[in-house]
Structure 1
């Protein structure tokens, strides 16, 4: 059974991405699973082409360095011709109303005098990502569940109108992972595209910078180490990060500390050691562009081979070619 997940190069990979997704892909991924860098999705808003290209390569290197099977990894734009063809077929299957009611489109377009058309249509591209690979399970959070439902609707509609081509995917809740919050503002998730990086630990941050960010993490004035996410969200965030890096339980770990300083120091060192091998291997890959290009080319070819028959059938049955 094929599972499909992606990461968008809207910024450098941060600790939440790594603990919540990338590390899980490396441990739990199967040989049929598909993990890709969704660089086309990063173009729905204004972007810098050179930065997009650099972030795409960096994210590819991070995935490989983290232990994700290189045979399962690819870059979305390497299949731009295949995806472009299927996206058009699916756009001719989708209605305007279905696209316009997507919550993310509504939220990101509100109050703006003009938005890119791709912001409206990218859920159809996401459906093409899913259906082209024959994915049956798509682990997503609540913010992407609606997009998977659109992919399901388009798969059923195409199959019913033209003939059976696509597996009907379903959204699944990913295994419980670390809930990493912004160190400077624990009311929000840690994000790779945050405008203020003071509360975000990036995978490639040098150790001293990681330590400095965690030492400055917002806590509270209660002056008591306990796991109470509602009353002490900043402290709970540190305990959850420490637990994710050490395999412990936040509440149990809290009993081992009498002060915030010691907790911050322990969390900082745990994060530094967790990220150290990934950071070092990523740097090696980025310093060896030929090897990274080889891995990327192999992933693209394998992914292309897996989807070719499905695309050919979709084009033929819909009257093209």
Structure 2
């Protein structure tokens, strides 16, 4: 089994054609007519601007463009969330509800897309175990996410460092591969920080097919939007994150206009106040704000630079950014507030999505077990 797992690396050079960068807005030609699109988000509570621009807005685009033979599966990745232990169960339940409300508030149509809770589809865990028998420890050791979540910031990990890491966190990418392959997904819209995990997913799909002389698993395509990573308003050296101790650096979908204005006014910038342009190395704070506007307006960075070329002071620049964010989040904010007052409706949506997802997952896991001689 170890020899089989070690062969995963040999596939990495094949993946250049399986990462597709799309325009700021999806169009009908980006996704084939018979595609299965899969993506999930962790239940960290209400969504922030990075979640919105990096993932869930594309889900709405996909719903708007959906064709009869396409399948859309979106979910709340609550099994992934427990790789960092959740001690407050009441808070965790609230986070799952808020994540579901956030997904729907963006305009994801539950009639066109399956919206489910990962933990309610047991086949995710079942395929995770199967795929773990193909995956080498060496390959997982090179993954970056478990290191960052364990506060390990070095390439050469000692036995002591590794000894403190929980198995679930270490094998997180294998569960992510199982999530995707369980539905025979062909396209996965993610941010660029997830491309390493998608490479493992493709490796495992190819390795399974080669081992059992089948073409059962498609090799999923990573679809990336040009929107760069949204960074903290107060520390543009790190991602915008709900766990940021300084919440003034995070803009949430349900923030009131006054809150957004205050946060943007306090955003870290620099001493150049008479002109505004994108320079991520020398002007990270200003560049982050320009990137946010670029993502919202679905325009290239040079277009935004042209739009703001007549602005020559920070008051007007930050007012410009604030107004664009406030207007963009107006409808999602209103929808989120309404949905959080309708728990029975949210439950009905996710219960229906769970049933639809389980039907697909049960058939596919039976097919996989039959191929392997387990059924």
Q: Same fold (TM over 0.5)?
A: yes
Give 5+ residue unaligned stretches, structure 1.
none
| Residue aligning to 1:272 | 326
Contact 2:264 2:321 in 1 (8 A): yes
**Hey, what does 1:149 align to over in structure 2?**
199
**Secondary structure of the corresponding residue to residue 3 of structure 1:** strand
1:12 maps to which residue? 46
Which one of the candidate residues 105, 108, 116 is aligned to 1:68? 108
1:239-250 correspondence to structure 2 within 5 Å:
239-247=290-298, 249-250=303-304
Matched, 1:56 2:96: yes
Q: Secondary structure at the match of 2:269?
A: coil
Q: SS of the counterpart of 2:310?
A: coil
Post-superposition offset of 1:319: 3.6
Paired with 1:73 and 1:27, the residues of 2 have a C-alpha distance of 15
Preserved CA contact (<8 Å) 2:60 2:108: yes
Distance 1:114 1:11, change over 3 A: farther
Say if 1:163 and 1:297 are closer, same or farther in 2 by CA, change over 3 A. Answer: farther
Q: Matches of residues 210-289 of structure 1 in structure 2 within 5 Å? A: 210-229=260-279, 230-247=281-298, 249-289=303-343
Q: 1:14 to 1:119 in 2, by over 3 A?
A: same
Deviations 1:266-297 (A, max 9, x none): 22122122112111111111111111111111
Give 5+ residue unaligned stretches, structure 2.
Answer: 1-34, 153-160
Residues 68-87 of structure 1 correspond to what in structure 2 (within 5 A)? Answer: 68-70=108-110, 71-79=113-121, 81-87=122-128
Find the aligned partners of 2:45 and 2:210 in 1 and give their Cα distance. Answer: 40
- CA gap 1:150/1:235 in 2 versus in 1, 3 angstroms: closer
Structure 1's 108 and 301: CA in aligned 2 closer, same or farther, altered over 3 A? Answer: same
Distance in 1 (CA, whole Å) between partners of 2:143 and 2:345 is 40
- How many corresponding residue pairs? 320
Q: Name the CA distance, whole Å, in 1 between partners of 2:188 and 2:73.
A: 10
SS class of match (1:74): strand
Write the mapping of 1:91-170 to structure 2, written as runs, cut at 5 A. 91-109=132-150, 110=152, 111=161, 114-162=164-212, 164=214, 166-170=216-220
Q: Distance in 1 between matches of 2:101 and 2:223?
A: 26
Q: Retained in 1: the 8 A contact 2:43–2:77?
A: yes
Q: Could you tell me which residue of structure 2 aligns to residue 202 of structure 1?
A: 252
Deviations 1:189-234 (A, max 9, x none): 2123322211110112222211111111111111222213233222
- TM superposition shift of 1:93: 2.9
Distance 1:173 1:317, change over 3 A: closer
Q: How big is the shift at 1:126? A: 0.9
CA distance in 2, matches of 1:244, 1:131: 29
Task: Give the Cα separation in 2 of the matches to 1:92 and 1:130.
Answer: 17
Query: For the structure 1 residues 296 and 232, does the alpha-carbon distance in structure 2 shift closer, same or farther, using more than 3 Å as the test?
Result: same
TM-score (norm 2): 0.78
**How big is the shift at 1:50?**
2.5
Counterpart contact for 1:145–1:171, Cα < 8 Å: no
Cα distance change on mapping 1:22 and 1:157 into 2, 3 Å: same
Instruction: Assess if the C-alpha contact under 8 Å between 1:124 and 1:151 holds in 2.
Output: yes
**What is the Cα deviation at residue 22 of structure 1?**
1.3
Q: Normalization by structure 1: what TM-score? A: 0.90
